């Protein structure tokens, strides 16, 4: 079922922009058969499936050239608190992608996952203290040191620190599951109405922090709420059916899933949003349609992706078009 969900995401994106899917040698023929002909399928070894976190974060330099930042990856926590071991193949993915895309590479000297940050393209970056200041990432770096490194590698000017991420998010609270920019000066926030739910205080704290700051251009932020699905929990059948390596963190029946509609992907002219809960899917879709009127909102049944620990934004990585044209001889 997860393969069907991944294929549906790739097909929906391929309708509006080029798509490359990296798969293991064992899955190459299967992936090629499942995916549309327009999707490029390449063999690429990895330990898991989250291109947002293991792939490069693309940037465009002052000369208009596309480059990529290759962060150090430690499986969301390393030996102490990480989700699996080994992760050596995942730490090589970004360099491979950059070579395939013929893009320059900046190797950053610290641990970061792409889902731990979100930028507005005008100098402002969102992240969470729960993740970036976690001692299982970069215990040797202070908040100020991290901000300076982010400025250096991403060209940003301001970091907006939120507190925790979505409740029970095993990535240690990635911001891409909690809050993201929909345009400069505007964000959507994962919102819980139930005061008895542990997510309520997390979302409320983020709301207050977002309203207390201005972005890099001096603008106050407009904050839009996206409803929280569920809460959703893993069933016994789902826990038994997960294909996990022996070193993976166990997943059990009754585990709360970090389900969030914020974990969507903005493609050219459309938004791919996860369908997670019939009780809230329609409301979330209507909210995104209202906020992004020039984009088609495409819903993808995504519970099978969620069971693995992430969602649509987590399995994708956008590749920007360079601003300069390469002259052919």
Catalytic residue set: 314
Question: Comparing C-alpha atoms, which of 31, 34, 36, 37 is closest to residue 49?
Answer: 31
Four-residue CA torsion sign, 16, 120, 177, 283? negative
Four-residue CA torsion sign, 301, 307, 309, 315? negative
Phi, psi of 109 (to 5 degrees): -95, 30
Question: In a 10 Å sphere around its CB, with 0-12 CB exposed, 13-18 middle and 19+ buried, how is residue 38 labelled?
Answer: exposed
Name 300's bridge partners.
Answer: 274
Q: In what order do the strands lie in the sheet with 57-60?
A: 57-60, 66-72, 104-111
Beta strands at 232-233 and 256-257: parallel, antiparallel or unpaired: antiparallel
Alpha helices, DSSP H, located in the chain: 2-14, 28-34, 51-54, 90-100, 129-132, 143-154, 198-211, 236-241, 281-291, 303-306
Task: List, as one string, the DSSP characters of 268-316.
Answer: TTEEEEEE--TTTHHHHHHHHHHH-TTSEEEEEE-HHHHTTT--TTTT-
Burial 93-107 (b: 16+ CB within 10 A, else e): bbebbbeeeebeebe
Distance of CA 174 to the CA centre of its chain: 8
Question: Comparing C-alpha atoms, which of 43, 319, 314, 298 is closest to residue 174?
Answer: 314
């Amino acid at each position: 079922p997860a393969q069907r969900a991944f294929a549906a995401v790739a097909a929906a994106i391929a309708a509006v922009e080029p798509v490359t899917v990296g798969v293991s040698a064992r899955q190459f023929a299967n992936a090629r058969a499942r995916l549309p002909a327009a999707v490029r399928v390449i063999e690429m070894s990895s330990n898991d499936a989250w291109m947002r976190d293991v792939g490069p974060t693309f940037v465009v330099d002052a000369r208009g050239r596309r480059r990529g930042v290759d962060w150090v990856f430690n499986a969301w926590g390393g030996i102490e608190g990480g989700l699996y071991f080994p992760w050596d193949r995942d730490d090589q993915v970004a360099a491979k992608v950059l070579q395939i895309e013929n893009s320059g590479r900046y190797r950053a000297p610290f641990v970061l996952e792409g889902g731990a940050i979100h930028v507005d393209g005008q100098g402002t970056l969102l992240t969470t203290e729960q993740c970036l200041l976690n001692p299982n990432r970069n215990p040797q770096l202070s908040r100020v040191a991290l901000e300076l490194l982010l400025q250096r590698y991403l060209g940003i000017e301001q970091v907006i620190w939120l507190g925790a991420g979505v409740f029970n998010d095993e990535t240690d609270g990635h911001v891409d599951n909690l809050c993201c920019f929909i345009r400069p000066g505007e964000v959507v926030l994962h919102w819980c109405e139930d005061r008895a739910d542990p997510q309520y205080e997390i979302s409320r704290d983020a709301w207050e922090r977002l309203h207390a700051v201005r972005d890099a251009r001096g603008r106050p932020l407009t904050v839009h709420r996206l409803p929280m699905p569920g809460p959703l929990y893993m069933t016994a059948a789902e826990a038994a059916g997960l294909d996990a390596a022996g070193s993976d963190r166990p997943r059990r029946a009754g585990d709360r899933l970090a389900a969030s509609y914020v974990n969507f992907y903005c493609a050219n002219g459309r938004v791919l949003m996860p369908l997670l809960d019939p009780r809230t899917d329609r409301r979330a879709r209507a909210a995104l349609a209202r906020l992004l009127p020039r984009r088609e909102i495409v819903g993808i049944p995504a519970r099978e992706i969620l069971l693995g620990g992430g969602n649509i934004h987590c399995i994708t990585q956008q590749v920007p078009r360079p601003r300069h044209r390469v002259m052919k001889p």
